[in-house]
Structure 1
Amino acid sequence: MSRPPTLTPPPAARAYPLRTARGDFAVVDHPVAPGVEPRGAALLLPGFTGSKEDFRLLHEPLAARGYRTVAVDGRGQYESDGPQDDESAYAQPELAKDVLAQAAALGTPLHLFGHSLGGQIARAAVLLDADTTPVSPTEVPFRSLTLLSSGPAQISQPQQERVKLLRDALAVMSMAEVWDAIESMGAPEDVGGPAVGTGGQEHLRHRWLRNKPAQLIATGRQLCTEPDRVGELAAVALPVHVLSGASDDTWPLPLLDEMAVRLHARRTVVADSDHSPNVDRPLPTAEAIADFWDTIQAPPARRKQPAP
Structure 2
Amino acid sequence: MSSAQIDRQSFPHSAEAIRIATDRGEFAALDRAPEGTPRGTVLMVPGYTGSKEDFVTLIDPIAEQGYRVVAIDQRGQFETAGDDEPATYSVDELGKDVASIARSLDAPVNLLGHSFGGLVARAAVIGEPTLFASLVLMSSGPGALGEGQRKSMILAAEPHLYTLGLEGIYDLSQQALAQDPMFVAPPGPLAEFLRRRFVANSPYALQYMGHAMLGEPDRVAELEATGVPVLVLYGSDDNAWTPQAQSDMASRLGAQEVVVDGALHSPAFENVGGTLGALLAFWDAQPRPTA
Q: Which TM-score applies when normalising by structure 1?
A: 0.85
2:98 alignment partner in structure 1: 99
> Which string of whole-angstrom CA distances, capped at 9 and with x for unpartnered residues, describes residues 32-77 of structure 1?
1x36x63211100000100000000101111122111100000110
The 5 Å alignment of 1:267-286 reads 267-286=257-276
Deviation of 1:288 after TM superposition, in Å, equals: 0.8
Task: State the alpha-carbon separation in 2 of the partners of residues 193 and 14 from structure 1.
Answer: 33
The 5 Å alignment of 1:1-308 reads 5-7=8-10, 10-11=13-14, 13-32=15-34, 34=35, 38-83=38-83, 85-130=84-129, 140-158=130-148, 159-186=150-177, 196-197=186-187, 199-299=189-289
Secondary structure class of the residue paired with 1:284:
helix
Task: State the alpha-carbon separation in 2 of the partners of residues 201 and 52 from structure 1.
Answer: 17
Detail structure 1 runs of 4+ shifted over 6 Å in the superposition: 192-195
Structure 1 contact 113–146 (Cα < 8 Å) conserved:
yes
Structure 1 contact 3–204 (Cα < 8 Å) conserved:
no
Task: State the alpha-carbon separation in 2 of the partners of residues 197 and 244 from structure 1.
Answer: 26
Task: State the alpha-carbon separation in 1 of the partners of residues 229 and 30 from structure 2.
Answer: 25
Structure 2 contact 41–106 (Cα < 8 Å) conserved:
no
CA gap 1:154/1:194 in 2 versus in 1, 3 angstroms: farther
1:304 alignment partner in structure 2: none
Deviation of 1:6 after TM superposition, in Å, equals: 4.0
Task: State the alpha-carbon separation in 2 of the partners of residues 271 and 92 from structure 1.
Answer: 30
Structure 1 contact 4–53 (Cα < 8 Å) conserved:
no
Root-mean-square deviation (Å): 2.2
Deviation of 1:265 after TM superposition, in Å, equals: 0.4
Task: State the alpha-carbon separation in 2 of the partners of residues 64 and 129 from structure 1.
Answer: 29
Structure with bigger RCO (C-alpha 8 Å, 6+ apart): 1
Question: Structure 2 stretches of 5 or more lacking a match?
Answer: none
1:189 alignment partner in structure 2: none
Deviation of 1:3 after TM superposition, in Å, equals: 8.7
Structure 2 contact 139–241 (Cα < 8 Å) conserved:
yes
> Which string of whole-angstrom CA distances, capped at 9 and with x for unpartnered residues, describes residues 113-166 of structure 1?
000000000001111114xxxxxxxxx211000000000011121132221012
Deviation of 1:277 after TM superposition, in Å, equals: 0.6
CA gap 1:3/1:127 in 2 versus in 1, 3 angstroms: farther
Deviation of 1:215 after TM superposition, in Å, equals: 0.3
CA gap 1:252/1:169 in 2 versus in 1, 3 angstroms: same
CA gap 1:195/1:57 in 2 versus in 1, 3 angstroms: farther
Larger % of helix: which?
2
The residue type equivalent to 1:163 in the other structure is I
Structure 2 contact 49–206 (Cα < 8 Å) conserved:
yes
> Which string of whole-angstrom CA distances, capped at 9 and with x for unpartnered residues, describes residues 251-291 of structure 1?
01010110000000010011111100111122221111010
CA gap 1:296/1:196 in 2 versus in 1, 3 angstroms: same
The size of the alignment, in residue pairs, is 281
Structure 2 contact 235–261 (Cα < 8 Å) conserved:
yes
Deviation of 1:89 after TM superposition, in Å, equals: 2.1
CA gap 1:101/1:9 in 2 versus in 1, 3 angstroms: farther
CA gap 1:198/1:173 in 2 versus in 1, 3 angstroms: closer
